[in-house]
Amino acid sequence: MKRAYVWRLWCVGLTLALVSIGAPARSQMEKVRVAISSISTSQVNVWVPLDTGFFKKHGLDIELVYISGAPVGAAALMSGEVAISQGGVGGSITSNMRGSGTYIILGGADRFPYQLIVSPAIKQISDLKGKRFAVSRIGSADHTATMFVLPRLGIQPDKEMNIVQVGSVPARFAALVNGSVQGALLIPPETVKAKELGYRVLSNFADIEINYQQNGVYTTRSFITKRPDMLRRFALAYSEGNHFIHTSAESTQRIMRKYLQGDEKAIREAYTEVVLKATPKIPYPSKAGIQTLIDFLAKSSPEAANSKPDDFIDTRFVKELDDSGFYAKLYR
């Protein structure tokens, strides 16, 4: 009887230990400030693990800080205002070339998610010549997409249009509706609202076959060195969130509605046309996609011409999960 009693106590103790490892107590939660560069579908990758509790499952109390534009997000990293930033990776790459020491650790959307929306009076791309065109900020993800794709469609944005810095996707949509601009790159659900109001879609960038790392998660080299365990847990929760996105359509769309405040039709289009297509199951930064961005930056930056994708990424956290069989088990 005594031996059985001791055995039961040992089993109870082991169970409690395993529970404490799998679900950290609230007092053990680590506060982490994370910058997001927009209020758009590109942030679903952090909204989902936040709202589903994946971050807390791994001991992280995430505070999201909205900082419009990827370049400003990179600056917030350098100042220590935030520990991690998710947004257009162009901001990380350009700041890295200036010596900031920022590195992309997780790959987000790997294609352009934008639709080129114009006022009803604009019938074709050439009609945008001389017109005002809204972007978030100079150097932001949508500005980079504007500068990269529009020349392929037949217009030189820096020479033939008036680029206006407006802010977030909702702000660009509002500027289009009030007539202060005649064109902008928008993402669902704003694209659905725009079409319902009679605005025209000149191009869907998601249908253009271009290797491009639209956004991702990045931090500083010093933070990677000092806090690898925290970043490892962040990568784990982020990856579980991506799996949730691919396997739980209705629940993901409910989370999207909470943040984007669109109706069911708009959110459904955002989920099927952008989120599912652009969310990688294994969030490696895309070297081919980063090379495309480097080639584009090289036109105006001598530093970029001598750069390669490996100069701007650190894949250790994804690779550890991949090598351990985590993704194979997750998606089996």
Asked if residue 12 belongs to a domain, the reply is no
What tokens does 91 get?
A: 């901001």
Pairing type for strands 215-220 and 30-36 reads unpaired
CA 278 to the chain's CA centroid: 10
Taking 70 as the pLDDT cut, the residues of the chain under it are 1-27, 69-70
Q: Is the separation of the CB atoms in 4 and 33 below 8 Å?
A: no
Q: Residue 1: inside a domain, yes or no?
A: no
Q: What is the mean pLDDT of the chain?
A: 87
Burial label for 155, CB within 10 Å (0-12, 13-18, 19+), is buried
CB atoms within 10 A of CB 36: 24
DSSP string computed for 7-55: HHHHHHHHHHHHHHHHS--GGGPEEEEEEES-SSGGGHHHHHHHHHTHH
Q: Is the dihedral of CA 294, 299, 300, 303 positive or negative?
A: positive
Residue 22 covered by a domain: no
Question: What pLDDT shows up at residue 16?
Answer: 35
The reply to whether 72 and 149 lie within a common domain is no
Final residue of a domain: which of 207, 225, 242? 207
- Residues 97 and 218 occupy one common structural domain: yes
> 0.85 cut: is pTM over it?
no
Quote the domain boundaries for residue 70: 28-111+212-330
Task: Note whether 99 and 218 are same-domain residues.
Answer: yes
Q: Are 206 and 5 in contact (CB under 8 A)?
A: no
Q: Does any domain span residue 46? A: yes
Sign of the torsion formed by the C-alpha atoms of 323, 324, 327 and 329: positive
pLDDT for res 305? 85
In a domain, 15, yes or no: no
User: Residue 10: what pLDDT?
Assistant: 39
SS3 103: strand
- C-alpha 120 chain-centroid distance: 30
Same domain? For 287 and 312 the reply is yes
Q: How far apart are CA 27 and CA 105, in angstroms?
A: 27
131, 182 Cβ separation under 8 angstroms:
yes
Confidence at residue 70, expressed as pLDDT on a 0 to 100 scale: 65
Considering 176, 207, 238, which residue would you say is the last residue of a domain? 207
Do both 141 and 171 map to the same domain?
Answer: yes
Segment 271-319, tens digit of pLDDT: 988 898 889 999 999 999 999 889 888 877 788 888 999 999 999 999 9
**Whether 127 and 275 share a structural domain:** no
Indicate the residue among 151, 186, 207 that finishes a domain. 207
Same domain for 216 and 324?
A: yes
Tell me, what DSSP letter sits at residue 174?
H
Sole residue written with tokens 């250790």: 316
In the chain, alpha helices (H): 2-22, 44-52, 54-57, 70-79, 89-97, 141-153, 157-160, 169-177, 190-196, 221-226, 228-247, 249-260, 264-270, 276-278, 287-297, 302-305, 316-323, 326-330
Residue 11 lies in a domain: no
* pLDDT digit string, tens, across residues 303-312: 888 899 999 9
- CA dist 104 and 284 (Å) reads 9
The number of distinct structural domains making up the chain is: 2
58, 189: one domain: no
- 140 residue type, one letter: S
| End-to-end C-alpha distance for the chain, whole angstroms | 44
Q: Are 215 and 141 within 8 A, CB to CB?
A: yes
CA distance 94 to 100: 9
Does residue 128 lie within any of the structural domains? yes
181 and 313: one domain?
A: no
Query: CATH no. for residue 104?
Result: 3.40.190.10
Does 258 map to a domain? yes
Residues 89 and 168 grouped into a single domain:
no
Spatial neighbors of 218 by CB under 8 A, at least 6 apart, are: 74, 77, 84, 85, 86, 89, 92, 102, 103, 104, 105
Residue 106 and residue 56 share a domain: yes
Residues 169 and 304 grouped into a single domain: no
Which residue, 187, 192, 232, is CA-closest to 214? Answer: 187
Rg (CA), the chain: 22
